[in-house]
Structure 1
């Protein structure tokens, strides 16, 4: 029988998991380095890390020592099933001294001759990151000391994975978001555009977006939207909504019909998604546009002859959850020569330190019929000023030429 780990073994593990040199390694090298240390200290034959995929609720073999086939063969274990699945579901260590088809779902664990297993959860603030397990090909009775040492390593690995995932997700979300926002607004004779996008200081990149695109028949499509949520998942949904709005806009001259089709598609395929969208079609003459709002705040219209005011068009429920799949109304907005419209997401006016009505009033007062770039600057100065935005903001300004 293997000796029980002593003080020296515990110190070796503590030194391994706190080694500052690990911070300079890539995540996969950190994992393998610690798995090697585990095999040596616990005198086991195998060690492996399976990371949790929240989308599928499966554990995916990511790194292994002594049982590398788990990774090479892409082993996936449902949470709650088999050995690793039990560790994940219970979020408690599991010791198993009988390894066969009746106790584990991964045949590699008994085909390679493993006779005893110890697994511990990888958690960060009680959120499941994965499972770390070790195996012995000889009879082995794992002790409380074994469990404690393995849990030390699991905690270190969970933190490293969580930090890496968070950083990678933020970078991926930002890159995806940048690729989906228009790099350059279209040049349309008789129309001027300007836009701003600012990620929230507290939440980072989210699901806010704007879009301006040419359509057949010299029409112009304008979209503004806000997907509920933040991070990579919201940016991915935002990208899909942007694409489907463009696709349906090719088929219909009625913004309400476009948003109704977007709603049906989203409710069917994007379960759990909710978004607000404003979609407008500018007619070839540029003297008016048709507008539909799905839970989105109405844009502002500034006329050279009168102060800016919020447009009066029907507002339907948000996109998603099958809230309105049969019909959505559109309204017609006249755009006089020199007239200017401001589309925005709610992060612009909403702040924790002021009532929403005050923010909307400040927005209305900041909008004039000056050049769109100047209006963007004035609006952001008035509503954001010297305090970072708490939520992400999308702002799009359209002005019709005076002549």
Structure 2
């Protein structure tokens, strides 16, 4: 009897070692999934094994890797949480044993076509958050025991770690692609002005909800935008990209910045419900002597004019976008003297923990002097960006050229 117990313990140890082998950590995520599924099929003597990862937005499980049911992955099989066998595992967040597969207990016809008779499924977690489901199945009836459940849960935990690494890589890749496509690598050339900009992300993905934009309109006016979407990382960046594109479209139809921001407000309330954004939108006249500025909850720009004190432009500040309380938005005409520099920015540049925002504004004003836009950006960033920001930072400087001579 003792020898039998020792034999059982040895077998359990062998099975555990097979799915916790340190060499697995050296594999790419897709290869790791493939190897884990192959090993668990052998250890549990089952014919199929499938990993379905949770699409949080759609609340659906998506077939991501499989052994014996590769068609699920190729066909992009999805099942809603709460539906079918995998959906039940996800909903209950507990292991589920299915000793007899019937049309009433599974929704994927592939399981019937393959002749699956018995199934075992366990949830996949990242901390306390559900990230997917791992299930196995056999072509012959069988009873899964407690050891089988524990072993499959161990594999699910290993796969969960890999899936989070995979998502992190996807987020970083997507964020980098967004950054390259949405933030101008080089500002456009525009007659009568020179411009410079900076962007520093406060999130590890490399991008967030702050943005700046400059574009010339068919009328000769120059559009200048600095904005800040609530949130951080890739989700905020996605919304930012949509707002940036929408505002460009509205700018072609609206001569008044306040009108364009009113339309953008309707857009965010309808299509981006729950999101908030602050935006500064300025139109600079074709002769560069005048600016029309509208602020949607955004910090006013700073104007540095030769021979005059550097100060914040006195402008009315309307509600941020997405608040849901319609109110008339305003545009204000401001003179743009020769040699003057307009500095637009997001709050990440001046906000500090345990410090009033006015202190940061004073620090910013003191760092700005009339001069080339690039020199202004260098001085501002050297003075204010002395540590890694906790929030995204966007900075845009536009200087009007002084008349020759």
Question: Would you call these one fold, judging by a TM-score over 0.5?
Answer: yes
For 2:34 and 2:114, the matched residues in 1 are separated by 20
For 1:195 and 1:214, the matched residues in 2 are separated by 17
Contact 2:205 2:234 (C-alpha < 8 Å) held by counterparts: no
Contact 2:172 2:205 (C-alpha < 8 Å) held by counterparts: no
Query: Which residue of the other structure, out of 223, 234, 237, is the alignment partner of 1:221?
Result: 223
For 2:13 and 2:82, the matched residues in 1 are separated by 33
Q: 1:303 to 1:143 in 2, by over 3 A?
A: same
TM-fit CA distance, 1:52: 0.6
TM-fit CA distance, 1:271: 2.6
Query: Which residue of the other structure, out of 241, 250, 253, is the alignment partner of 1:251?
Result: 253
TM-fit CA distance, 1:361: 1.4
Contact 1:223 1:277 (C-alpha < 8 Å) held by counterparts: yes
Match of 1:381 in 2: 382
State yes or no: 1:170 paired with 2:172: yes
For 1:13 and 1:254, the matched residues in 2 are separated by 70
For 1:12 and 1:48, the matched residues in 2 are separated by 22
State yes or no: 1:395 paired with 2:395: yes
State yes or no: 1:236 paired with 2:255: no
Contact 1:368 1:375 (C-alpha < 8 Å) held by counterparts: yes
TM-fit CA distance, 1:201: 5.7
TM-fit CA distance, 1:22: 2.5
Match of 1:320 in 2: 322
Q: 1:347 to 1:203 in 2, by over 3 A?
A: farther
Match of 2:60 in 1: 58
Listed as ranges, the gaps of 5+ residues in structure 1 are none
SS of 1:218's equivalent in the other structure is coil
SS of 2:246's equivalent in the other structure is helix
SS of 2:226's equivalent in the other structure is strand
Match of 1:351 in 2: 352
For 1:323 and 1:122, the matched residues in 2 are separated by 42
For 2:48 and 2:166, the matched residues in 1 are separated by 25
Superposition CA RMSD, Å:
2.0
TM-fit CA distance, 1:9: 4.3
TM-fit CA distance, 1:102: 1.5
SS of 1:108's equivalent in the other structure is helix
SS of 2:131's equivalent in the other structure is strand
For 2:18 and 2:319, the matched residues in 1 are separated by 55
Q: 1:224 to 1:305 in 2, by over 3 A?
A: same
Q: Between 258-267 and 64-73, report the one with greater CA deviation.
A: 64-73
Q: Deviations over 1:287-336 (max 9, x none)?
A: 11111111111111112132221112222222225343x63211111111
Listed as ranges, the gaps of 5+ residues in structure 2 are none
For 2:11 and 2:368, the matched residues in 1 are separated by 69
Aligned residues: 399
What's the TM-score once normalised by structure 1's chain length?
0.94
Aligned positions of 1:189-228 closer than 5 A: 189-200=191-202, 204-228=206-230
For 2:108 and 2:10, the matched residues in 1 are separated by 34
What's the TM-score once normalised by structure 2's chain length?
0.93
